[in-house]
Structure 1
Amino acid sequence: MPKGAIIVLVVVAGLILLIIAGRLAFKRVEQNLEGLKQLALVTPTVSTLKEGTYEGNFATFPVKVKIEATLKEGTIANLTLIEHRSGQGQPAEAILTSVLTEQKLDVDTISGATYSSIVILKAIEDALKKAQ
């Protein structure tokens, strides 16, 4: 077989492998994100939580959130987003206002940023669990 034909075969095989790997990676990301919709959120009774500032984390590829929740006088007094790695989920950061206003995690997710909204809520839940 001529050297040029071998090179073409190797390049084609490499491209096929890249396409397969890309599809598998995309499928994994899609499964991770779809799994988020099945997660339950539990809001502890905020008035019974210990005062202080607590860090919460939650990640599922490709979204990662680190948050700081401050509890004072039986309320969620402040939520600070320390880290939010997301694809197109930046609008989800508005959910912090809903949680502060309603003092619970059972709030509507942000349309167009559902997955990031859920990850942010799970990070808040993690912080609140640490205050029990």
Structure 2
Amino acid sequence: MKRKTKMILTVIIAIIGVSLIGFIVVMRNIESNLEELKALNIQDINISSVPDGKYKGSYSAFPISAEVEVTVSSGEIVDIELIKHDHGKGGAAEAIPEKVVEKQSLKVDVITSATYSSKVILKAIENALLNAVQ
């Protein structure tokens, strides 16, 4: 019985150890991505140079991702549909597309309580517009 108990304890300790290492790796990855987002630069694209149409764009920096569809007509952004937005506490950033449509620019203030999600959504919009002009 002692040998079986030792074996079970060894397996449990090994599982806990592997789980802890996995958790640390994931947390470092998240921390690195969030640091990258702090420095993320959003280009201000000349909307008048974008042909009329609907353009999809996406951006991901784990654990946050966004996918958008931007509609351009007569040199203006007329609609931005937020198709997908995976976020933690960044739900407030879902107001960003409306701000971009109102200002007709990607140079909008990020949502204070959702800075990272705001930047991810803006980058997805930028990527959609860049896809349109390339």
TM-score (norm 1): 0.92
**AA in 2 matched with 1:126:** N
Structural RMSD (CA): 1.4
Q: Partners of 2:84 and 2:14 in 1: how far apart?
A: 40
Three-state SS of the structure 1 residue aligned to 2:122 is helix
Greater Cα shift, 104-113 or 121-130: 104-113
Q: Partners of 2:49 and 2:8 in 1: how far apart?
A: 69
* Alignment correspondent of 1:18: 19
Three-state SS of the structure 2 residue aligned to 1:67 is strand
CA apart distance, 1:47: 1.4
**AA in 2 matched with 1:91:** A
* Alignment correspondent of 2:69: 68
Following superposition of structure 1 onto structure 2, how do residues 49-68 of structure 1 map, counting pairs within 5 Å?
Answer: 49-68=50-69
**AA in 2 matched with 1:64:** S
Uncovered stretches (5+) of structure 1, i.e. residues with no partner: none
**AA in 1 matched with 2:30:** V
Uncovered stretches (5+) of structure 2, i.e. residues with no partner: none
Following superposition of structure 1 onto structure 2, how do residues 1-132 of structure 1 map, counting pairs within 5 Å?
Answer: 2-132=3-133
On the 8 A contact 2:94/2:118 being kept in 1, the answer is yes
Q: Partners of 1:24 and 1:130 in 2: how far apart?
A: 33
On the 8 A contact 2:33/2:62 being kept in 1, the answer is yes
CA apart distance, 1:129: 0.8
Three-state SS of the structure 2 residue aligned to 1:82 is strand
Aligned length: 132
Q: Partners of 1:3 and 1:131 in 2: how far apart?
A: 65
CA apart distance, 1:73: 1.5
Three-state SS of the structure 1 residue aligned to 2:97 is helix
Q: Partners of 2:96 and 2:45 in 1: how far apart?
A: 18
Greater Cα shift, 115-124 or 59-68: 59-68
Q: Partners of 2:132 and 2:12 in 1: how far apart?
A: 56
Three-state SS of the structure 2 residue aligned to 1:2 is helix
Three-state SS of the structure 1 residue aligned to 2:44 is coil
Q: Partners of 2:81 and 2:3 in 1: how far apart?
A: 63
